Amino acid sequence: MAAPVYLFAGFLDSGKTTLIMDTLNDKDFMKGVGRTLILCFEQGETEYTEEFLDEHNAFIEFFEASTQLTKEKMQELDTIYHPDQVFIEYNGSEVISETILRDMPPFWPLVEILTTVDASTFAQYIQNMRSIMFEQIRWADVVICNRCTPDTSASLLRGNIKAMNKVAQIFYEGEFGAPVELKGGLLPFDKKASVIDINDDDYGLWYMDAGEHPDDYEEKTVIVRGAYAENLPGGYKQSFVLGRRAMVCCEADTSLCGITVTGVKIEQLTKGNWYEVEGTLRGVPLENGAKTLVLYAQKIKNYPAPRDQYVYFS
């Protein structure tokens, strides 16, 4: 039976060991898991104790370089330990190897890459060691920004991380994984601005927040960009659905994240083309008592389709 591999990347003392230990302590994640093999490529201030490993039925092997982790070595370790899952604690100064990224054996499939970031040193590292940090972030499925404080700038963290890896999910934590409210909030735009201009990369976050908190956007002026996705049923001549598609599991399986735009001459528009719309959001009650937002257009113009047209929610 295949043992899923989870790769933990990030600089030394960025919180990789703590994250692994927290994962092993997570009863929901560990449900049904027997043996965990940890492959450790560097040792920071936090260490695994024998008591902790014994308690969690975990075993550890230490390596000095990723080149030591050959297919032959993986086969040997799988034979010795018969793990149900494998955690790789990677060296923050090394590029993630092609073997781990694309050439893992079928009995050890790589299923997720998690990168830890120390928010307290992030600005310094981005300025002086950007290329090295890029290698830690570029392949990540999840980026955990820990050691955040109320003064931490979410826009600094998110902007730089998204420039390196557009699809990664980002989580923000305080000391020891505690929740934290960051300066300026977690949204990359200001909901209190006179005109809320939604960038391409932020459409998903805006769409999700507007759906959950429609009252926050009532009578707000926004600028959004998307494709002419659908006509409204009933033959409306002044309304259409503007939106982007979110990938559910693959490019063949997507769902539309759209908003109704009204007050336009749809006969002058082309279905499938991209447009920039500026207008006012107004809530419209639904039969179930909830509210949906409709964009009353004031300006509309052609917009070049972005290279990556999919929606991301982080």
What is the CATH classification number for the domain harbouring 156? 3.40.50.300
DSSP class of residue 193 equals: S
Give dist(CA 205, CA 312) in Å, integer: 7
Residue 273 shares a structural domain with residue 301: yes
Mean pLDDT value across residues 23-28 = 93
Q: What local confidence, expressed as pLDDT, does residue 314 receive?
A: 73
Q: CATH code at 253?
A: 2.40.50.140
**Is the separation of the CB atoms in 195 and 223 below 8 Å?**
yes
Same domain? For 136 and 212 the reply is no
The answer to whether 137 touches 143, Cβ cutoff 8 Å, is yes
Which range, of 63-67, 76-80, 173-177, 217-221, averages the lowest pLDDT?
173-177
Residue 79 domain-assigned (yes or no): yes
Confidence (pLDDT) at 9: 94
| Residue 250 resides in a domain | yes
Residue 155 lies in a domain: yes
Question: Structural domain tally of the chain?
Answer: 2
Query: In terms of domains, do 137 and 283 share one?
Result: no
**DSSP string over 169-182:** EEEE--GGG---PP
pLDDT of residue 251: 66
Which of 146, 177, 208 is the last residue before a domain boundary? 177
In a domain, 185, yes or no: no
Q: Which domain holds residue 54?
A: 5-177
Last residue of a domain, one of 148, 177, 206: 177
CA-based Rg of the chain, rounded to a whole angstrom?
Answer: 23
Tell me the whole-structure pTM to 2 decimals: 0.73
